[in-house]
């Protein structure tokens, strides 16, 4: 039996955390509590790691090169040698899928980052300065949103390669590669973000703390960067989290119709494009790239939903 020795321990009356937990802590805790969302987030993370480590994986695990042809192995069904089979030129499907992840996820993440940057800046400027700047920018956004994205993308990508620079000189060329596609897609889809951020900026600009900041003599720059940006950040995060899946789909569709990343570079979309001709006898060529797209987009969307639920300020109160 235990005998209490010494003075009784002081009861921690005041050690309860009394400070309010901040928005970021709260949101993060809410996100972490969402098991389903977090596990799909983990899937997305794994896919990203695979994409980044593609050269390593091909060297150590599969021992194939994504573009090397092997005419003895044409249409080889899935086996110990080719885990997921081989395509019409005897290229290893698994290796190509791994490399394709680079295109899909790379374009997915980078495009979203870029269009959040463009749309966010336009929205901030538009909502903060109002007047004719706002009017002009928002009318432009209206027009941009009126044209179906895929038509605009078909139009722009059909004009490639575009040589940018003054006459007789080429600064850089926009062509059918992943980086160019990132820029092109971002340039066509930023309108919705601009609208959202503008609305949010308008609402925040009329709040008292902005008036107060202006009262103590803060410059426009400071007000935007220190007071408004942190407050519109949640909207941007929510939009970004829901955008990745959509962009991956768009990019894959573009590859699929032959206006995106060109062979021999492997992408999930152009693998599907090739495989449609072999639908009759090599089903796996159609199955895997589509499943890969579905897995990436589904995990991005479910994780995105979880992020939205956790970070949406309107759900906080």
Partner 1 sequence: MTRYVVRRLLASIPALLGVTLITFLLMHATAGSFLPGLELNPNLRPEDIMRIRQNLGLDDPLPVQYWRWISGLVRGDFGNSILDGRPVITQILDRLPNTLLLTGTAMVLGIGISIPFGVIGASRRGRIDDALTFLSVLGVSLPGFWIGLLLILVFSITFNRIGWPWLPSGGAVSAFGGGDIGDRIAHLILPALVLAFIHLAIWARFTRSSMLEALSQDYVRTARAKGLAERRIVYVHALRNAVLPLVTLLGLEFPGLVGGGAIVEIVFSWPGIGRLALETALKYDFTMVLGLTTFTGILVVVGNLIADVLYAIADPRIRYR
Site of interaction with partner 1 (CB under 8 A) = 139-140, 142-152, 154-159, 162-163, 245-246, 249, 252-253, 256-259, 272, 275-276, 279-280, 283, 286, 289-290, 293-294, 297-298, 301-302, 305
Instruction: Report d(CA 232, CA 237) in Å as an integer.
Output: 9
Q: At 52, is the secondary structure helix, strand, or coil?
A: helix
Structure tokens at 83: 């885990």
Q: 173 forms bridges with which residues in the sheet?
A: 163
Minimum Å distance from CB 288 to partner 1?
Answer: 11
Minimum Å distance from CB 90 to partner 1?
Answer: 22
Is the Cβ of residue 18 or residue 158 nearer to partner 1 in the bound state?
Answer: 158
Minimum Å distance from CB 180 to partner 1?
Answer: 14
Closest CA to 258 of 181, 164, 148: 181
CB distance 125 to 97 below 8 Å: no
Is the Cβ of residue 228 or residue 310 nearer to partner 1 in the bound state?
Answer: 310
Minimum Å distance from CB 152 to partner 1?
Answer: 6
Is the Cβ of residue 94 or residue 288 nearer to partner 1 in the bound state?
Answer: 288
Instruction: Report d(CA 263, CA 258) in Å as an integer.
Output: 9
What is the number of alpha carbons within 13 Å of residue 100 lying toward its C-beta?
29
Is the Cβ of residue 83 or residue 278 nearer to partner 1 in the bound state?
Answer: 278
Closest CA to 157 of 267, 273, 256, 294: 256
Is the Cβ of residue 64 or residue 303 nearer to partner 1 in the bound state?
Answer: 303
């Amino acid at each position: 039996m235990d005998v209490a020795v010494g003075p009784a321990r002081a009861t921690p009356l005041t050690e309860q955390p009394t400070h309010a937990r901040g928005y970021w802590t709260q949101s993060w805790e809410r996100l972490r509590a969402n098991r389903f969302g977090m596990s799909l987030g983990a899937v997305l993370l794994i896919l990203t790691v695979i994409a980044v480590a593609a050269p390593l994986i091909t060297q150590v695990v599969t021992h194939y090169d994504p573009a090397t042809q092997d005419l003895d192995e044409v249409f080889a069904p899935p086996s110990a040698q080719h885990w997921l089979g081989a395509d019409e030129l005897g290229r290893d499907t698994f290796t190509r899928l791994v490399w394709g992840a680079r295109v899909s996820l790379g374009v997915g993440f980078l495009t979203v980052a870029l269009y959040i940057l463009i749309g966010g800046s336009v929205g901030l400027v538009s909502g903060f300065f109002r007047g004719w700047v706002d009017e002009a920018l928002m009318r432009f956004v209206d027009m941009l949103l009126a044209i179906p994205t895929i038509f605009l993308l078909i139009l722009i990508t059909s004009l490639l390669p575009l040589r940018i620079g003054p006459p007789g000189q080429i600064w850089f060329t926009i062509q059918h590669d992943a980086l160019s596609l990132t820029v092109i897609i971002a340039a066509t889809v930023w309108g919705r973000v601009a609208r959202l951020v503008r609305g949010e900026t308008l609402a925040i600009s009329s709040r008292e703390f902005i008036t107060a900041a202006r009262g103590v003599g803060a410059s426009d720059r400071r007000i935007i960067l220190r007071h408004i940006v942190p407050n519109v950040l949640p909207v941007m995060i929510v939009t970004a989290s829901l955008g990745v899946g959509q962009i991956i789909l768009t990019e894959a569709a573009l590859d699929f119709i032959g206006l995106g990343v060109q062979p021999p570079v492997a992408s999930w979309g152009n693998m599907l494009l090739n495989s449609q001709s072999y639908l009759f006898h090599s089903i796996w060529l159609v199955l895997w790239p589509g499943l890969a797209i579905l897995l990436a987009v589904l995990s991005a969307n479910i994780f995105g939903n979880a992020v939205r639920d956790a970070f949406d300020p309107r759900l906080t109160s």
